[in-house]
Structure 1
């Protein structure tokens, strides 16, 4: 949230939380709102006058690098998972938690950290979070057990949550010229797209020469100059009248999300017959309902639920979440497919995913120009449809799929992600009143991170359940041999006689591919449905056809 949150608080809660527009407020409250607007205007003018173009764009570089590191962390672990599984030997459920403890903790605390940044200062929280992120990356590199790694990854997610909200809020405060701001937001969106693709490539290079801990350790020398330069060039900003910080809402959001995710993972591992899983699912959903109800009653909520009454806003957020679900699930599990099914080295697997990163980066930079000649409605619907088309193609994945076909499908996913991430961010911010922009951007960021976490959880749940249900263990072996995960099956097959080991390896790979096919098919259906919904929800307005700068 930015300084405009103060105005929103006055407008909505100044008259007893009625949520009435400023024209309905009494004289006293109208004066307060006007005063807040004048204060905000003076702050914007100061930023414009005091910070040179060199300092503004250098600050953008620091903020873009912080965003890139956060996004790389989501996908960088994918190629390292086979090595972590061989070294730490986690169970299937623990293996999934290693993958998405980071994303879920970040998603669960993103809005909380955004409101905290409004109070303590966005620059201060950004630099503190970056420092903690570096220290935790060092700790993760030397984690002795799967449990320790899960705990450290969760704390890294908490640190990452302190990085994302300030980046977009600071961009809006630093770049006061509308054309400069759209370019800066395009760069920010490009870092999200690029980070999703660069993660596997960087991991592949490292794993060719070092142990799996290097995937974490490499971030430390990058964060040191980020903190030093950021301290020098980024201006401090905060909300002068942020309102109370609602701790019960913080607790409800985290407990609700973790409860639902825990239930999903346990059902995937142990089936639907366990009462604990259903209790966690029902409890998590119930807590999230309480959270939503509480947000409606608060003057300064963590998430402004009322914004979802705007169809364009809801459509853009829906596109944001479902695109992240599809892309993250593919990036995370396709890396394991390339290594454990097709036998690629980590570097080769990373290079094979490069078409997604390149196409995403180019598409995000061209998104503004495309939207100028068409409309945000057409771009978002088409982008989500492209992601669905790529997922539908991956539903036909096989052990011998030619790389040319795979590259084309990954390219489609990258184009869709790049277009969607750039345009939905702008639609979300511009579909609400100016004083609601801070709350809208916080929901946008949370939606993407939650979608990224859900992508791993949903894909992992479908994949694990299908793998265990379809694996045919060779005669003479225990029925549960290799049934925990593909990584464990390959490890056990290496210790069996040649003929039996080959049978187990082949059966495990076939079961894994079956799980991937089903996960991709389900995701494709969701994305096609989302594309149709966006076409109707993102109807053109006269004010929508704004002039995007040509990049």
Structure 2
């Protein structure tokens, strides 16, 4: 087996691959982008309908984090395994299976009648999303072998990440109920899966061995313990259950590291974390989830409960943020050769921090118009992040492990998302000054985390 180390990041010796079918760049880019957009729409749809879903499923405030966190939990737990499976057994095969499973599990989510059934359906959606997200960048790397083509493709793909985030809340708010929106998204995913089965070409970079299921189980359980600890923290951070769950997270994380070191085909070679480019990519993904996604996942619900906006009004307001993110991500490819992904990431984090800080006091004043400058600034920052992240991911590992590289970065992004959502809800709902005051504290925490990320990305430059 080929191990990742100092040498393999620059020179990879692998057996000559078997002849593979000619790729269709246009179809590959269109279908992977469409599936990614549907996956992100499924993820963001509950953001503006959270109050409605919680009321329909009789979900208490203390458990609402699970309604949002089901999908990122499933993604984070299985993304690395999905990346390895895509490289080993066929990226097209895993992509089609994941997209089809996303359609079916999303449709099933519309039929659930309790908090825990809905959460389980969301976790299943996350697992399906993991398969299509991890394999999509691998398919793009195969279809666009030149640096210029790859830059264009990852830029468009990153823009559709922002596009999915933008359209999901609008679709959910415009349709008669959240159940109908889930049915529509499920049908869209099934359609993309059918087209992908006919039009995509297969590619793989097999390494042999079995999937690292033991690593996936220990990692998934560690993540559940972390989210549970943060969720229960709103009732007191020093309580025994929070401490025990935090200890369980640490123990399971250590066990995961042991499993990975002993596995013949690990989910991730932990030695990669010694390389600054890979570490910078991972840190960027983690803090994008923790600072950006964590705050903006719960902010729409806070607006509805403090300012009194409807679900549709909230969706239109947040289109300013997500729409700008989409437009900026689509245009960032023009910076190729002039601004490195590292500096794009740092600038994105700084703009997010600046935008969030300008929104302080808006909810307490009951004024949605005071949010506008911050949403514009943070939206531009988010677009820079979404455009630079996929390129940083594929550049941080050898081309033959592109799916694993993208899976690793996105895993860290969704780990951050799970932790960020739970932390934001815990902070916003546990302060004595009300939801508006709690929202201000959550915004300050998000801005500080973004500043830390910007400093970390700049500091983790490659040694000469």
Larger radius of gyration: 1
Q: What CA deviation, in whole Å up to 9, does each residue of 1:480-500 have, x standing for no partner?
A: xxxxxxxxxxxxxxxxxxxxx
**Cα separation, 1, equivalents of 2:6 and 2:436:** 55
Shift of the alpha carbon at 1:11? 5.1
Note the 1:352-363 alignment, pairs <5 A.
Answer: 352-363=317-328
Contact 1:463–1:516 (CA under 8 A) maintained in structure 2 = yes
3-state SS in 1 of match to 2:113? coil
1:70: which partner in 2?
39
Counterpart pick for 1:465 among 430, 444, 448: 430
Note the 1:277-292 alignment, pairs <5 A.
Answer: 277-292=242-257
1:455: which partner in 2?
420
Cα distance 1:260–1:233, how it changes in 2: closer, same or farther (>3 A)? same
Q: How many residues align?
A: 462
Contact 2:306–2:366 (CA under 8 A) maintained in structure 1 = no
Q: What CA deviation, in whole Å up to 9, does each residue of 1:47-69 have, x standing for no partner?
A: 4xx34xxx421222111111111
Cα distance 1:302–1:325, how it changes in 2: closer, same or farther (>3 A)? same
3-state SS in 2 of match to 1:151? helix
1:254: which partner in 2?
220
1:222: which partner in 2?
188
**Cα separation, 1, equivalents of 2:98 and 2:397:** 29
**Cα separation, 2, equivalents of 1:21 and 1:373:** 28
Counterpart pick for 1:514 among 437, 442, 453: 437
**Cα separation, 1, equivalents of 2:400 and 2:197:** 28
1:83: which partner in 2?
52
2:304: which partner in 1?
339
Note the 1:70-469 alignment, pairs <5 A.
Answer: 70-206=39-175, 210-268=176-234, 270-400=235-365, 402-435=367-400, 437-466=402-431, 469=432
**Cα separation, 1, equivalents of 2:157 and 2:273:** 24
1:486: which partner in 2?
none
Contact 1:196–1:331 (CA under 8 A) maintained in structure 2 = no
**Cα separation, 2, equivalents of 1:230 and 1:428:** 24
Cα distance 1:144–1:352, how it changes in 2: closer, same or farther (>3 A)? same
Q: What CA deviation, in whole Å up to 9, does each residue of 1:287-339 have, x standing for no partner?
A: 11221233234443212221121223222321222122222233322211332
Q: Which moved more, 1:363-372 or 1:186-195?
A: 363-372
Contact 1:103–1:450 (CA under 8 A) maintained in structure 2 = yes
Cα distance 1:240–1:203, how it changes in 2: closer, same or farther (>3 A)? same
Q: What CA deviation, in whole Å up to 9, does each residue of 1:435-491 have, x standing for no partner?
A: 55443222112122222222211211212222xx44xxxxxxxxxxxxxxxxxxxxx
**Cα separation, 1, equivalents of 2:99 and 2:383:** 25
Shift of the alpha carbon at 1:77? 0.2
Relative contact order higher in (CA < 8 Å, ≥ 6 apart): 2
Shift of the alpha carbon at 1:128? 2.1
**Cα separation, 2, equivalents of 1:436 and 1:212:** 38
**Cα separation, 1, equivalents of 2:382 and 2:6:** 37
Contact 2:35–2:132 (CA under 8 A) maintained in structure 1 = yes
**Cα separation, 2, equivalents of 1:20 and 1:531:** 25
1:25: which partner in 2?
none
Cα distance 1:311–1:177, how it changes in 2: closer, same or farther (>3 A)? closer
1:488: which partner in 2?
none
**Cα separation, 1, equivalents of 2:314 and 2:121:** 26
1:58: which partner in 2?
27
TM-score, normalised to structure 2's length? Answer: 0.92
Shift of the alpha carbon at 1:518? 0.7
Contact 1:370–1:379 (CA under 8 A) maintained in structure 2 = no
Contact 2:260–2:266 (CA under 8 A) maintained in structure 1 = yes
**Cα separation, 2, equivalents of 1:123 and 1:20:** 30
Q: What CA deviation, in whole Å up to 9, does each residue of 1:344-377 have, x standing for no partner?
A: 2222111111111221112212223235323333
**Cα separation, 1, equivalents of 2:201 and 2:385:** 30
**Cα separation, 1, equivalents of 2:13 and 2:119:** 49
Cα distance 1:20–1:152, how it changes in 2: closer, same or farther (>3 A)? closer
Q: What CA deviation, in whole Å up to 9, does each residue of 1:83-116 have, x standing for no partner?
A: 1222222122322111111111211111122223
Cα distance 1:240–1:317, how it changes in 2: closer, same or farther (>3 A)? closer
Q: Which moved more, 1:242-251 or 1:168-177?
A: 242-251
**Cα separation, 2, equivalents of 1:229 and 1:434:** 26
Q: What CA deviation, in whole Å up to 9, does each residue of 1:129-185 have, x standing for no partner?
A: 222222222221121222221221122212222211111111111222332222111
Counterpart pick for 1:529 among 447, 452, 455: 452
Cα distance 1:538–1:408, how it changes in 2: closer, same or farther (>3 A)? farther
Contact 2:2–2:14 (CA under 8 A) maintained in structure 1 = no
Q: What CA deviation, in whole Å up to 9, does each residue of 1:414-441 have, x standing for no partner?
A: 2111112222322333244445544322
Contact 1:320–1:421 (CA under 8 A) maintained in structure 2 = no
CA RMSD of aligned residues (A): 2.3
Q: Which moved more, 1:279-288 or 1:396-405?
A: 396-405
3-state SS in 2 of match to 1:303? coil
